[in-house]
Structure formats: C-alpha cells, structure tokens
Amino acid sequence: MSGNTRHLFPGNNTSGGFFSYYGEILPLDRANRFYCLKGGPGTGKSTFLRKIAEDLQRKGWDTEYLHCSSDSDSLDGVCFPEQKIALIDGTAPHITDPVSPGAVDRMVDLSVCWDEGKLRGRREEIRASQKQIAAYFRSAYRYLGAARKLYEGLEELNCLDRSALHYLAARIQREELAHKALMPRAGGRLRKLFLTGITPKGIVTYLPELLQQARRVYAFQVRPGADCTPLLNSVAESALARGCDAELFYNPLKPAEQAMHLYLPEEKLAVVTVFADREEAELCDRLREQGKAAVFDLTGEGCGRAAGEEGLQLRKQEREWRAQVEELVRKAVNCIAAAHAEHDRLEAFYIAAMNFEKLEEIRREILQDICNSAAERI
C-alpha cells in the first residue's frame, strides 16, 4: 500500500532574494533522524532523495516532496512526518549543517564520489559558470524587488476590512474548532512554507493538490494584493491553542509578512485565498458544488467598493499595476530560466567526475539506516 504524498517548496526566489524556510521542514526537537546531504551540482542529490522517497512511499510511508524553486522538477528534500525523519540538500543557497550530529543529525558527504582531479582541471570554467549564475539571480531579484513595490500599491488599493476578516475567522473557528478543548500547556506547532514557487518554468503552485486532499475548504476570492493574513493568523492561533499543528504558506513577493493559505493537517482543513479569475477559484467553485467548500466573494472590497468615475479610475489603476507586476515577475522568471540553463552546464562538469555506482551504494546504506531508525521507535 502506497503512502500519501504532498508537494511543497521549503524555499523560494522572492523579492528579497532567496528566502529559506528550511528550518521549518522538521523541527530538530521533534526529529528522530535528520540527514544532511553535502555535495556539488550534478552530484545526484535530487535523484538520491527521490529514490529514497519512492522506496519508502511504497512501504506505506506518507511523504512530503520538497521542491527546489530554481528547478521545480528537482528536490531539495523529503520528509516523512509520521516517522519524524527528513533528508535535505544542505548546500548553498540553503546551507544546513548538523546541530546534534550523531544523536539526531547525520551528514552525508557525496564528495567522496567525485574525482577531484577532473574538477580541478575545469576550475576556471566552473568559477566562470558560478559567476554567471549569480549574476542572473541578482537580476531576477531586482525585478522581484520592483514587483513587490507595485504589489504593495495593490495591497493599499484593495485593503480588506479588518473587522470583517475577524468575523469570518470567528465563523471558521466556531464551525471547525469549537469541538476541540483548549490546551494551553500543550499547544500545537506552527510551520511556515511555500505552496507556490517562482521557478524557471514560471509560477508553479501545489495549491490544487492541497484543495483536493483537504476534507473541508474555506476559500476567499479576492482582488489582487488583498491581504487575508489577519484572518489566517487568527484561525491558526485558535488551532494551535487547541493542540493542532498548523501550516501557513506565504507569498513569494512578501515571504515573511503575507500568508496566503492555511492548512491544519490533523483536521484536513484548508483556508485559502484565491484570485477570482484564476483556475484555483474555479476549482474552489467545483468543490463548493460538491459540498466540500465554502466560498466567500471578497472582490467587492477594496477598489471594488468605489462607484462612479472614482471606481473606474481605481480599477484602471489596479489593472495597470497588476499587469506591471506580472511583467516584472515574467522578466524575473526569464533570468531564473537563464540561471537554470547555465546551472545545467555547470552540472555537466560534476557529472563527468562522478562515480554514480558509489553514490548508489551510499543511498542504499542510508535507506537501510532510515528503516532501522524507524524500527527502533516502533
């Protein structure tokens, strides 16, 4: 029997550069085993992670696939929540080192699989490629920084009524959490991640998957820039106070400030914000027809409230700013795609120097160690 899967981004390309929530993957004070892979580009880390995930999923383990925002087809980690075991790529830009080596953490050094002589022979080419990749990302982050400024204009334009948000949060708490007693001394854990990534392929989102997996969905259709963070935080705090774990998923343009979605794994409850003209809104409408979702139309808020000539002008401004944000994000994506193409060239130097048979031996040994660690705690 195959285990359940989830797909997430632990880090992202954002308006402030690369932003990491890698520390949220599996809190070290909860972890049974934490494997930190070290190696260069093209050393097979993603394949290593994927094979282990697939092997354990076939054993019935629920699995979180943690995708790389600079290549959404690649993995930067995998997590097995029930077993409290995780493996991550600990190399730049998300450098991670063991905190409790031996006791919990184990570093997996993949450099033992490469021929350093071959790499030293390509030293200048490797350095030049790394320099070019860094330049592409600097350009991408400048575009995303500019996009954030305009997005904040949309946020002001489409500001939501705080009292209405608190009313809606109270309704969700009443309908979904009132049956659970408060547990002030044994609260739940909050985890912060991304469901949507700015990648070489454009905007990649795993929101539809979350909506399909949820038992119950509360969806808020909003205008561009509208911020439901107060509502999401309120529901999250109520859940945490009742001993439920909660997950908040953030906006890459405001990665530390603006939550877009909330998920309570134990309750299988999703509270999400969607733009009314996107596919996710259509999916929410279909889920409503199935009796699985409650959908709230908040598009009448913000500049939607204004009437007459003022309303026409504000909505024109909204369209212009939104188009400019989307264009700046598109330019950032082009830069990230160029970085990805150059990264493929860089990987080729390492692939040519790798002993992949030795890598597979290490992978099998780590897989056995994971199974042994899980068996010790049954």
Secondary structure element (H or E) that encloses residue 88, with its range:
strand 85-89
Find where tokens 């904040």 sit.
152
| 49-71 per-position pLDDT tens digit | 999 999 999 999 999 999 999 99
- The structural domains of the chain, with segments of one domain joined by +, span 5-114+354-376, 123-149+308-349, 160-300
Q: Which residues contact 219 (CB under 8 A, 6 or more apart)?
A: 272, 273, 274, 281, 284, 287, 288, 293, 294, 295, 296
CA distance 313 to 334: 32
Compute the half-sphere exposure of residue 270: CA atoms within 13 Å on the CB side of its CA. Answer: 27
Which residues are registered as beta bridge partners of 36? 88, 107
Edge-to-edge strand ranges of the sheet holding 85-89: 5-8, 63-68, 71-80, 85-89, 33-38, 105-109
Residue 378, pLDDT above cutoff 60: no
Contact 91, 34 (CB under 8 A): no
Residue 96, pLDDT above cutoff 90: no
CA distance 316 to 142: 26
pTM: 0.94
Residue 184, pLDDT above cutoff 80: no
CA distance 226 to 299: 9
Which stretch of 11-15, 103-107, 175-179, 213-217 has the lowest confidence by average pLDDT? 103-107
CA distance 164 to 15: 29
